[in-house]
């Protein structure tokens, strides 16, 4: 087994104390909640969470609220520049004047997380990660992942390198940026993973569990499979 394939506990334990941690995913879908629950198990209230959309992570961990950062901040870091312009919103941000048109823009400063947590479709043992998603949100996550110093990816399934090569458009992260890959089916539960399973607002709320697999057992793996393979995600 590749050293990049780690248990969820090993992957989360690798996050440095005081790290700025980027959380990928839209507000109500495709969030890396399996990794976040492990942060809570390890008592990692020392991290600072940021993302391009707000989510439930801070309440799960018991840390400071997630800071929502404009997507342009991560895009700037991914491009290796210290800011990008955005149409002015009069919100007190630093302004810049275009040398071409003279138009005033907000200057969005580059933000580079120490670690980015992303939940994706699949990965291989070499650390190539696939994310099939709506292009509008895929781009934001792609920029966030590219902005991070290192990436921890939980995935719905582990696949061969050949399967990765067959989906080049969906490649969202690759070595050497990827530090850990964690196999975590239903890793966004109880939120949705579009194309795989719907949100599960009526799911049981398990107490403290030893790991992600124990969490799935407590929620009911048969229940999850039934919901993800039925037409409307209903519960049997």
- 129 Cβ contact partners less than 8 Å away, ≥ 6 residues apart: 118, 120, 122, 123, 151, 153, 155, 171, 172, 173, 174, 178, 181
pLDDT at site 210: 87
Do 100 and 155 lie in a common domain? no
Residue 206 lies in a domain: no
Query: Is 210 within the bounds of a domain?
Result: no
Domain count, the chain: 2
Residues 122, 191: one domain?
A: yes
Shared-domain flag, residues 137 and 194: yes
Whole-number pLDDT of residue 136: 76
Tell me, yes or no, whether 43 and 125 share the same domain: yes
> What residues make up the domain containing 86?
76-109
Q: Are residues 19 and 45 in the same domain?
A: yes
State whether 94 and 117 are in the same domain.
no
Is residue 190 located within the same domain as residue 134? yes
Residue 134 near residue 100, CB atoms below 8 Å: no
CATH number of the domain that residue 118 is part of: 3.40.1080.10
User: Does residue 82 lie in a domain region?
Assistant: yes
Final residue before a domain boundary, out of 94, 109, 124:
109
Mean pLDDT of 7-21: 97
Q: Output the average pLDDT for the chain.
A: 92
Judge if 53 and 119 occupy the same domain: yes
In a shared domain, residues 105 and 123: no
Residue 231: how many other CB atoms lie within 10 Å = 5
pLDDT tens-digit readout, 202-236: 998 887 788 999 999 999 999 999 999 986 555 55
Which residues 6+ apart lie within 8 Å of 117 measured at CB? 21, 22, 23, 24, 32, 35, 36, 152, 154
| Residue keyed to tokens 């569990």 | 209
What's the token pair of residue 168? 């080049």
- pTM, full prediction: 0.93
Quick one: 65 and 122 in the same domain? Answer: yes
Torsion sign (Cα): 182, 185, 190, 193: positive
Q: Are residues 40 and 133 in the same domain?
A: yes
Secondary element (H or E) of residue 152: strand 150-158
| Structural tokens at position 105 | 């823009």
The predicted model gives 119-125 an average pLDDT of: 97
pLDDT in tens, 20-61: 999 999 989 999 999 999 999 999 999 999 999 999 999 999
Does residue 232 belong to any structural domain of this protein? no
SS3 207: coil
């Amino acid at each position: 087994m590749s050293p990049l394939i780690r248990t969820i506990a090993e992957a989360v334990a690798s996050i440095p104390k005081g790290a700025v941690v980027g959380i990928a995913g839209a507000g109500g879908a495709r969030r890396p909640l399996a990794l976040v629950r492990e942060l809570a198990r390890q008592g990692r209230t020392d991290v600072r969470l940021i993302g391009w959309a707000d989510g439930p992570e801070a309440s799960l961990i018991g840390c400071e609220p997630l800071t929502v950062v404009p997507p342009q901040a991560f895009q700037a870091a991914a491009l290796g520049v210290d800011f990008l312009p955005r149409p002015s919103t009069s919100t007190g941000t630093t302004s810049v004047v275009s040398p071409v048109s003279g138009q005033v823009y907000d200057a969005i400063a580059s933000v580079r997380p120490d670690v980015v947590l992303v939940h994706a479709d699949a990965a291989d043992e070499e650390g190539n990660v696939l994310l099939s998603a709506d292009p509008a949100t895929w781009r934001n996550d792609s920029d966030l992942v590219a902005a991070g110093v290192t990436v921890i990816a939980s995935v719905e399934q582990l696949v061969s390198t050949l399967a990765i090569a067959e989906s080049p458009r969906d490649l969202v992260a690759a070595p050497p940026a990827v530090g850990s890959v964690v196999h975590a089916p239903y890793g966004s539960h109880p939120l949705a993973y579009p194309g795989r399973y719907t949100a599960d607002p009526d799911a049981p709320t398990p107490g403290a569990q030893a790991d992600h697999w124990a969490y799935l057992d407590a929620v009911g793996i048969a229940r999850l499979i039934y919901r993800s393979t039925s037409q409307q995600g209903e519960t049997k």
